[in-house]
Chain A
Amino acid sequence: MNKQVLVIGGGPAGLETAGQLENLGYKVYIVEKSDKLGGHLLKWDRLFPDSISAAETLQKLLEPVVHITTFLGCEVVSVNKTGGHFYVQLSNEATLSVSSIVVTAGFSLFSAEKKEEYGYNIYNRVVTSADIESYFKTKSDDRIQNPKSIGFVHCVGSRDEKACNKQCSKVCCITAVKQACEMKELYPEADVYCFYMDLRMYGRGYEDLYLEAQSQYGIRFIRGRVSEVAEDETGRLVIKAEDTLSSKPLKITLDLLVLMVGMVKNSDNEKLSSLLNTRLGDDGFFQCANPILRSTEGESEGIFFAGASTGPKTLPESINEAKASALAIHGYLSKQK
């Protein structure tokens, strides 16, 4: 009988891992806690830096997994390991016996409400990066009414010890630049500002997009973290920040403020890690066996990782890790009797 593998999480990393494992001849199960496969990719419109369609990307990820047994709206309830086997019970009463488990549980988006000073869900014209992506998809959002001035706030819930997220979320800088250009395309008359602490344009094509944002789209970059947002009597937003490059306090009135929410650990990581007998790092993401040489392997045998379950990652990084993880699992299972 084919060896069986359980994939926990049906986002891009999970889908890619599952597809690769099936290709290698394994019987794969996917368990996904929401009612749909695709994870955060479902909410996105276009992907940085080349504006590739998120829907088409997801379609390509889904095609190879159509025959794979998938449990939607379902979670892992208990795991018992005997010998080289994991006996897994799911919340839908199903029981699985698998030789290996891959955690592709991903991340959660930071809840913008926690940064109360930015006024999300308090002021009507404050939205998040995820809201604006769904606006790009649907072209409808009551909060976005022909804005003449738009601000993007980088690092919302990232690099923020008070928000319990010390990590850089990696994807927000380039996402803000991408979304700023897209908003400028929709509203060419609007002034668009990005408030940043550092611009981390590390990926191929990122720096080009940044330069394009400056020189072609006229996006204006202000180095300084927004300290507070208030609403004036007309409902417009008054933003305060320091322009750190001139060491002067700065004020601007905007029609729309976009909060670049970061990638944070899932709230159920602790539960899952104790079920799987793995550890979490101080940041609440899963701990791998070795961050350089064995980043897709868990500390306990038979447990593997891919994607943002081990920390913020870009989509291509998650996809590559999924392939690496499938190969690591193949190596592990080939040695197992």
Chain B
Amino acid sequence: MIDFGYSLTASSRISLDNIDQKKIKKITAIEPDFLKCMACGSCAASCSAGNFTKVNLRMVILLLNRGLDKEAVSLIEGCMLCGKCTLVCPRGINTRNLIGNILKIYKEV
């Protein structure tokens, strides 16, 4: 292809139309507390890995709900399952169970 010196930038826009909700339903069935997140950020603030990696559970839950599965999963890969986020979550979400199951369901091929 001829290089004209410019390229197209992919859109960063989220489209909520036609999001495949199968996996979200699956995760919600195992861990119903998935729906309870109110995006306060306590989990991310207390995260042992968060200072050095992109680990951010608040963002993971959000991105899964927006259909951005790959980006979401990439944000928990550094998680060490220390469980500090479980301690601080005001809605009492079993975050460790949630993370384990997200990894299981979303890494399935």
Q: Which A residues contact B (CB, under 8 angstroms)?
A: 193, 211, 214-215, 218, 220-221, 223, 243, 245-246, 248-253
Which residues in window 2-54 of B have CB below 8 A to A? 12-17, 32-33, 35-36, 38-39
Which residues in window 51-104 of B have CB below 8 A to A? 58-59, 62-63, 65-66, 68, 91
Contact assessment for A246 and B15 in the assembled complex, using a CB-CB cutoff below 8 Å: no
Nearest CB in chain A: distance from B14 CB, A: 4
Q: How many interface residues does chain B have, given as a range?
A: 20 to 34
Contact assessment for B39 and A245 in the assembled complex, using a CB-CB cutoff below 8 Å: yes
Contact assessment for A243 and B17 in the assembled complex, using a CB-CB cutoff below 8 Å: no
Contact assessment for A215 and B36 in the assembled complex, using a CB-CB cutoff below 8 Å: yes
CA of A220 to CA of B32, assembled, Å: 14
Contact assessment for A252 and B62 in the assembled complex, using a CB-CB cutoff below 8 Å: no
Knowing A220-B65, A243-B66, say if A249 contacts B35 (CB, 8 Å).
no
A-B contact pairs, 9 of them (CB 8 A): A211-B91, A214-B35, A215-B32, A246-B68, A249-B13, A251-B13, A251-B15, A251-B17, A253-B17
Contact assessment for A252 and B15 in the assembled complex, using a CB-CB cutoff below 8 Å: yes
The residue on B at minimum CB distance from A207 is: B38
The residue on A at minimum CB distance from B21 is: A191
Contact assessment for B16 and A252 in the assembled complex, using a CB-CB cutoff below 8 Å: yes
- Interface class of chain A by DSSP: strand
Contact assessment for A252 and B17 in the assembled complex, using a CB-CB cutoff below 8 Å: yes
Nearest CB in chain B: distance from A195 CB, A: 11
Nearest CB in chain B: distance from A11 CB, A: 34
The residue on A at minimum CB distance from B65 is: A220
CA of A250 to CA of B66, assembled, Å: 9
CA of A223 to CA of B32, assembled, Å: 21
CA of A83 to CA of B67, assembled, Å: 71
Contacts of A245 in B (CB 8 A): 39, 58-59, 62
Knowing A250-B66, A252-B17, say if A215 contacts B35 (CB, 8 Å).
yes
CA of A14 to CA of B13, assembled, Å: 50
**Other A-B pairs, 17, CB within 8 Å; known A211-B36, A214-B38, A245-B62:** A214-B35, A215-B32, A215-B35, A215-B36, A243-B14, A243-B66, A245-B39, A246-B66, A249-B12, A249-B14, A250-B13, A250-B14, A250-B16, A251-B13, A251-B16, A251-B17, A252-B16
Contacts of B12 in A (CB 8 A): 248-249
Contacts of A252 in B (CB 8 A): 15-17
The residue on A at minimum CB distance from B13 is: A249
Contacts of A223 in B (CB 8 A): 39
The residue on B at minimum CB distance from A238 is: B17
Knowing A215-B32, A215-B35, A218-B35, say if A246 contacts B14 (CB, 8 Å).
yes
The residue on A at minimum CB distance from B28 is: A218
CA of A295 to CA of B39, assembled, Å: 37
